[in-house]
Amino acid sequence: MPEKETDMNDINMKKRIPPLLAGLRDHLENGIIPFWMERALDKEFGGYMTNFNENGAALAMPEKYLNTQVRLLWWFSRLLRAYPARKDFRKMADAGADFIIKYFWDAQNGGWFWKVKRDGTGIDDGKVVYGQSFAIYAFSEYFRATGERRALEYASRTFDLLQKYAADTLHGGYYENLEKDWTVAPGGFCAGDRKGLDTHMHLMEAFTNLYAASGEEIHRRKLLEIIDLIMLRMVDLETGCGRNQFDLEFHPIPAIAIRRTWNAERAGDAPATPTDTTSYGHNVELAWLMRDAIETAKGSIEPYLEKIRRLLSHAVEHGVDWEFGGIYRDGTSKGGPLIMDKEFWQHSEVLVGFLDGVELFGEERYLDAFENVWNFVKCHMIVKATGEWRVLLERKGHPIDSNVGNEWKVSYHTGRSMLECISRLERLNH
Amino acid sequence: MPEKETDMNDINMKKRIPPLLAGLRDHLENGIIPFWMERALDKEFGGYMTNFNENGAALAMPEKYLNTQVRLLWWFSRLLRAYPARKDFRKMADAGADFIIKYFWDAQNGGWFWKVKRDGTGIDDGKVVYGQSFAIYAFSEYFRATGERRALEYASRTFDLLQKYAADTLHGGYYENLEKDWTVAPGGFCAGDRKGLDTHMHLMEAFTNLYAASGEEIHRRKLLEIIDLIMLRMVDLETGCGRNQFDLEFHPIPAIAIRRTWNAERAGDAPATPTDTTSYGHNVELAWLMRDAIETAKGSIEPYLEKIRRLLSHAVEHGVDWEFGGIYRDGTSKGGPLIMDKEFWQHSEVLVGFLDGVELFGEERYLDAFENVWNFVKCHMIVKATGEWRVLLERKGHPIDSNVGNEWKVSYHTGRSMLECISRLERLNH
């Protein structure tokens, strides 16, 4: 693994940027964007289609999940902000927003239901904070792209409801799993007695976009609080790795599969895994979301820089597969990988974070890591004919799950990665 | 000081109850109630008069404070609940509520202003959480007494605003000092960087009454959280004394005078006093408010009993002036008194708490302490001719401040003490 330190003006690094930039632009504009523009609208019931095989053919979709519905709303809104002339993006965003508000909003208790049937009929009316956070993220983006007041109102109301019903005024942070009426869910599999890095990180991401949309001081204050909460309670000072799950007092506890998460749905009740499991993908995603959060809040990055460096560096040193390419799915905080599969979202997120490593620390090894992961993605993950990424591969790139869309995967990770990487590569290219 | 342990059925204790009960009833019905019924209404501008000398003559009152306005609203509402046939209580409550809503409610940002001129013109539009807590307490009581929906709505909206703007999602608990727009006040004298037992205790008291009024689960949840927060972070495990002031992370810090508190207003910028200062009055008030909070929330008192016992026992052993009677104003957590003055509110509150000591632990020393304090109050504090209590006496009972009402003192402590003590004495009398 290359260890050479360099600075941003290094000529060798500079000349590696333009071809990468061209490759990512091409994949975004001729791959991911058309893939979802052609397929995402549910012409029968409204809202979005999410399930597609690698040929781009729609699969049976009995259920619509809050999470992927609002992620696609976010996606078309975000595209509209990047390409304001594209009225077709606006139409896609509007169509999703109408369906989501009509069928997911709980007019009685406030907040968003977790799951409906394809036609909008209710299935699961639980209040999952993870899902609420993406609703804030999406409706903030929809407002930023369109100026629609009702979008900001829904985002702000969701924020207010979280402050009232999800915040833990005893220990800080947020309860993550609640029922329809906002009572806290039972413990164990329902996880009313747990807090986690994943949900808190996505709350931070949501508050970042909400503050960018509203400019309201209270949104900034809660953003600053959750930035510090994550850094203080959820990141291991010694290793610089994020920890997975905690009790309500933020003691790290062994991770279990939790109701209404992807891991639980694909694996059933998984046995407890060791406490020191860490996700390279989450760590690097946290690093770049943290930088974005701090910059949006107009805070100083200085006090956080060492932790960001450790999050990135641990992943480069232990998570990147320098032999076959890509990033391992999970590892131990002490070092090496535990699960060597290659999953789409970790690849999306580390691409962004590794470019932050180049920008913040000027080290070429982050560009090496970026190129390694991107080449693996191009070779094995992206389905050339249709332009989206497969869900899961084994270590060497052989598909385990070849589908490119499901109830948990749309273009939020893959497409956002391209947009975020392109803006970083453009800056590095100057 | 008597140390004898006994039980509730002890015949000696039993026979001491009836004369005490008669004395307190007489003072309530022929002293405190008529005092405020005859004087509290501001016939010129609406709202309440608060400033009276010991002869019951109204003093100049250039300002109306949120705190004492809502405490009188609480008082007349509480009386109405105790004596439902008394329409005159209802009239007094209505008159106060109208003025308070009209002049103190911030229609733009929500919440209650701190101070207005006698005619309602604004003076200080800060958002003091201490004051907000008493608004919740009062409007909850007004609803309980009258069934007026708008009263419960104001109480609930205030609660919601505190969850959004005052809760600290990083460390738990609440910011206590905020500006008109709910931004956190600066540090130091403005105390945006401090948390304290006083405010958190009164938030607990407010949430208790709000839950009793609304029956809403979220009010109960936040009540349970603040009960545990106070016990976990603000009460010293070793001595059982409450601590005064804390930084935002709940480290105890030396107490200072804080803007918009009585101590600051009467003493100016007081120098920092040692960290281990403890208030016997607050400790015992906390003990009985805690019991009431737990019982209202239908929690089990068992896990809290030892701390309640220590709070009461420390005050009986170190705070009661067994020589001249009454309770000292302030002491050290290690033991003896620092300031030997006798102040009205500590006397009101320890009377209630000492009867809780009799009820919970069956120890006669609490009845001895009660009788000691009550005799001192009767002899020196109560102005016989008019029926209210003087503000402040020196140790032996000589008046320092002879007034019986001011911007900080109405009948909330004195009158409530009589009501609460009477209900306890009635139970002990069975």
Q: B396, B46 in Cβ contact below 8 A?
A: no
pLDDT of residue B268: 55
- For the residues A413-430, what does the mean pLDDT come to? 97
**For tokens 């067994």, what's the residue?**
B322
Q: What angle do CA B194, B197, B199 make, to 5 degrees?
A: 75
pLDDT of residue A273: 60
Q: B194, B209 in Cβ contact below 8 A?
A: no
Q: A70, A134 in Cβ contact below 8 A?
A: yes
Amino acid at A28: L
When mean pLDDT is compared across A225-234, A318-327, B5-14, B333-342, the lowest value belongs to B5-14
Q: What tens digit of pLDDT does each residue of B21-63 get?
A: 999 999 999 999 999 999 999 999 999 999 999 999 999 999 9
pLDDT of residue A1: 39
Q: What tens digit of pLDDT does each residue of A179-204 get?
A: 999 999 999 999 999 999 999 999 99
Q: Which of A250, A249, A267 is nearest to A258 (CA)?
A: A267
On chain A, the residues whose CB falls within 8 A of the CB of B228 are 170
Q: What percent of chain B has pLDDT over 70?
A: 96
Put simply, the answer to whether A169 touches B174 (Cβ < 8 Å) is yes
Complex ipTM over 0.90: yes
Whole-angstrom distance, CA of residue B53 vs CA of residue B49: 12
pLDDT at A133 over 60: yes
Q: Which of B78, B82, B92 is nearest to B42 (CA)?
A: B92
Q: What tens digit of pLDDT does each residue of B139-155 get?
A: 999 999 999 999 999 99
When mean pLDDT is compared across A229-243, A413-427, B201-215, B290-304, the lowest value belongs to A229-243
pLDDT at B408 over 80: yes
pLDDT at B1 over 80: no
Put simply, the answer to whether B181 touches A225 (Cβ < 8 Å) is no
Q: B163, B203 in Cβ contact below 8 A?
A: no
On chain B, the residues whose CB falls within 8 A of the CB of A183 are 217, 221
With an 8 Å Cβ cutoff, is B169 touching chain A?
yes
Collapse the DSSP code of A399 into the 3-class scheme (helix H, G, I; strand E, B; otherwise coil) and give the result: strand
Write the CB contacts of B73 (distance below 8 Å, at least 6 apart in sequence): B48, B93, B96, B97, B100, B138, B139, B141, B142
Whole-angstrom distance, CA of residue B8 vs CA of residue A373: 76
pLDDT of residue A274: 61
Whole-angstrom distance, CA of residue B92 vs CA of residue A176: 45
With an 8 Å Cβ cutoff, is B75 touching chain A?
no
Count of pairs with CB atoms under 8 A, one residue in A, one in B = 63
Q: A55, A48 in Cβ contact below 8 A?
A: no
pLDDT of residue A320: 98
Q: A275, A239 in Cβ contact below 8 A?
A: no
- For the residues B273-289, what does the mean pLDDT come to? 88
Looking at chain A, which residue has its C-alpha nearest residue B164?
A163
CA dihedral B226, B228, B234, B240 (to 10 degrees): 140
Put simply, the answer to whether B218 touches A163 (Cβ < 8 Å) is no
When mean pLDDT is compared across A84-88, A266-270, B268-272, the lowest value belongs to B268-272
Helices first, then strands: H and E counts in chain B: 14, 14
Cβ density class A47-85: b for 16+ within 10 Å, e for less: bbbbbbbbebeeeebeebbbbbbbbbbbbbbbbbeeeee
| Full DSSP string of A48-87 | B---B-TT-PBPP--EEEHHHHHHHHHHHHHHHHHSTT-H
Handedness of CA A140, A141, A145, A150 (dihedral sign): negative
**For tokens 């890591």, what's the residue?**
A369
**For tokens 């976990």, what's the residue?**
B232
pLDDT of residue A3: 41
pLDDT at A127 over 60: yes
Put simply, the answer to whether B218 touches A164 (Cβ < 8 Å) is yes
**For tokens 């406490």, what's the residue?**
A275
pTM, rounded to two decimals: 0.95
On chain B, the residues whose CB falls within 8 A of the CB of A173 are 169
Q: What share of chain A is helix, strand, coil (3-state, %, to 5)?
A: 55, 15, 30
Put simply, the answer to whether B169 touches A222 (Cβ < 8 Å) is yes
- B160, B183, B229 ranked by CB distance to A169: nearest: B229
Whole-angstrom distance, CA of residue B247 vs CA of residue B321: 32
Across chain B, what does the average pLDDT equal? 94
On chain A, the residues whose CB falls within 8 A of the CB of B167 are 163, 167, 169
